[in-house]
Structure 1
Amino acid sequence: MTSAATSAPFTPFSGPFAIGTLSAPGESRFPGLVAPDGRVLDLRTALGEPALTTLALLERWDEELPRLHTLAGDPTRDWRPLADLAVHAPVEPRQIFQSGANYRQHVIDLAVAHRAPDAPGTVEEARAEVAAVMDKRAAEDLPYVFIGLPTTISGPYDDVVLPSWAQKPDWELELAAVISRPAYRVTVEEALEYVAGYTIANDLTDRATVFRRDMPSIGTDWLRSKNAPGFTPLGPWIVPAGSIADPSDLRVTLKLNGETMQDESTKDMVFGVARLVSYISQTARLLPGDLVLTGSPAGNGIHWGRLLRDGDVMDGSVSGLGAQRTRCVAEEAR
């Protein structure tokens, strides 16, 4: 994988600072405090910890957050220009929890796209049927969450390698919550207290392998369809939760070769961040640095009838969180 800060323009984010993982040529990666004007402060030096990582910072997020605010307002520190640094995925999570079927319009579109040619009834009837199912899910308060692999994480400007076996690779831009402290069986009301901040994730999917055609009763195959190396470009930044007024009112936009494909508000989510974190924590213990991907809105390639191919460039942004740019490279072309 390649990653360079100069491969995409710096885009502003909300609040006085964000956290990233960066490196200079010939140097190891470091957690950086990023200012809105594009300056970077090496937190290993600023906090006096040569071995500090972004994950270690998140493990004591509540303790360090006031110090980070102080550092962000200190012009006497040794600030470095972002243009001299490579930008990597902001964190290497231990666990990734992915919410499926969490955008109402997206699920309706997918159901119609996967509809068999000889299915009974009209397309309009099919859309109405799926809409009723989504409304029932919301009423019964049952999110759908599955698990992803940390090895899918890549940087926000890295090339995305399309595996030779992936017949229908697709994009799924989404809002991701980053966990700040261990969370187990937390309530919806307290769930957001366990969120350090938010970032951008593009949860790529090979549509051809989502369903096990050889074993229909088994259902979906998320290992095969979503977990190729580098299939989750992440970042560029973790923007502290306090800088995002309402995670359920953000714009998620993806452009493919300059053409807008996804442009939707997180208001269309069936289950918000707090509900997802609480739901996951009833079964699993969330750890600092873990990611909770909140699902993707309408406008995926399967909807447009246009899947990813060699040379495609994806520009993804979520309001207040900056933007990422990734180029698709066919495995055979590497």
Structure 2
Amino acid sequence: MPDPLPTHAGPFALGTFRFDAEPFPGLVTGARVRDLSDLVPSVRALVEDWDRWFPRLDSLTDGDSHDLADLDVLAPIEPGQILQSGANYRKHVVDLVAAEKESVHGATPDEARADAEKMMDERIRNGVPYVFLGSPRAMCGPYDDIVLPELGEQHDWELELALVIGKSGRNIPADEAMSYVAAYTICNDLTTRDRLYRPDLKAIGTDWFTAKNADTFLPTGPFLVPAAFVGDPGDLRITLRHNGVVRQDESTKDMIFDIPRLIAYVSTTTTLRPGDLLLTGSPAGNGAHWGVFLTPGDVVEAEITGLGHQQNTVRSHA
């Protein structure tokens, strides 16, 4: 585990850990982790009964515990669905649209940016989120190695705020949506850019399965921090460093569709259930923007206000 130990907002957080053998659900208070396996089999089971468990957690800090530094920190929860929001940060999307208008349509930089800004204003007023599904098999722990797949070369980072659903709902009104959020965590939603579009099936468009779901391509955690402790999720800082260089550094204020609108939108299609994970999009500053992609030996460090930090070393599949 990186030094210093990750910190979290509030008096406690939740996670999944390993000491000698089997993973166990743990209650994190500072540098100590209380083993909850005598009470509940997993963090997922706890979240599935969130309204009953959350008020009790503060009283469970005493008991058998471990030093956090002695534990393997795993992905904090095994989710049900993983719902992923694309193109959800204004500056990021404006940069992409403006670049296309310059290179493809011959607009000047000022014209391209003005047109892109106008498009985003219209999208905020009348548009809807863009959401797709990810695979839980892509998840890994916050300090695990990122293993690059054999195919593809443009392996990219995308740091995101993720929320964990705490109760079931369908067709959830936006003004009630925040009551469905149990906790927040960090996800780095990696993408192999040169496998995103299928040259053999151009009319179909993007291949999200292939580009985003390689094993270890979703570092998650270290913790689930209860929503009650996080403050305003629309005002958190998202920061990613690649080999020590800051590449992403943005506030969640830049989201095009905020969390209530995302929850309302996805719940018109699918019933949300406790343990579902909803990623809220990634801000400007990915590798494609910088012209730099992940290679073996790289180190990726990521943090979001109050949620702890990740540190992953990149290695080859071989």
- TM-score of the superposition, structure 1-length normalised? 0.91
Aligned with 2:35 (options 26, 36, 42): 42
> Which amino acid in the other structure matches residue 163 of structure 1?
P
Which 10-residue stretch deviates more, 219-228 or 124-133?
124-133
Would you say 1:147 and 2:133 are equivalent positions? yes
The Cα of 1:192 is off from its aligned counterpart by 1.1
Match in the other structure for 1:302: 288
* 1:229 paired to 2:215: yes
- Aligned pair partner of 1:24 in 4, 19, 29: 19
Among all aligned residue pairs of Structure 1 and Structure 2, give the percentage whose two residues are the same amino acid.
50
Q: Is the 8 A contact 1:137 1:143 kept in 2?
A: no
Per-residue deviation, residues 56-97 of structure 1 (Å, max 9, x unmatched): 11110110111102223x4xx222211111100001112100
Give, in whole Å, the separation in 1 of the partners of 2:97 and 2:275.
Answer: 33
Q: 1:193 aligns with which of 179, 187, 192?
A: 179
Q: Tell me the amino acid that sits aligned with residue 308 of structure 1.
A: L
Say whether the 8 Å CA contact 2:238–2:305 is kept in structure 1.
yes
Q: Within 2, Cα distance between the matches of 1:141 and 1:113? A: 21
The DSSP-based 3-state class of the residue aligned with 1:316 is strand
Secondary structure of 1:133's aligned partner? helix
Query: Using a 3 Å threshold, how does the CA distance of structure 1 residues 305 and 312 change in structure 2: closer, same or farther?
Result: same
- Compute the displacement of 1:126 (Å): 2.5
Q: Which residue of 1 aligns with 2:43?
A: 54
2:2 paired with 1:10: no
Deviations 1:260-281 (A, max 9, x none): 1100000000111111111101
- CA distance in 2: counterparts of 1:11 and 1:250, whole angstroms: 17
Runs (5+) with no aligned partner, structure 1:
1-5
| CA deviation vs aligned residue, 1:199-229 (integer Å, no higher than 9, x gap) | 0000001111223333333222111111111
Deviation at 1:113, TM superposition (A): 5.3
Number of residue pairs matched?
318
Q: RMSD over aligned Cα, in angstroms?
A: 1.6
Per-residue CA shift, 1:30-73, capped at 9, x if unaligned? 110000x210000123x3x4xx111111110110111102223x
Name the CA distance, whole Å, in 2 between partners of 1:230 and 1:114.
31
Question: How far apart are the structure 2 equivalents of 1:8 and 1:92?
Answer: 26
Match status 1:202 vs 2:195: no
5+ unaligned residues in a row in structure 2: which ranges? none
- For 1:1-334, what aligned pairs fall within 5 Å after superposition? 6-25=1-20, 27-35=21-29, 37-45=30-38, 47=39, 49=40, 52-72=41-61, 74=62, 77-112=63-98, 117=103, 119-332=105-318
Contact 1:58 1:180 in 2 (8 A): yes
The answer to whether the 8 Å contact 1:113/1:303 transfers is no
- Contact 1:179-1:286 at 8 Å conserved across structures: yes
Give the CA deviation at 1:146: 0.8
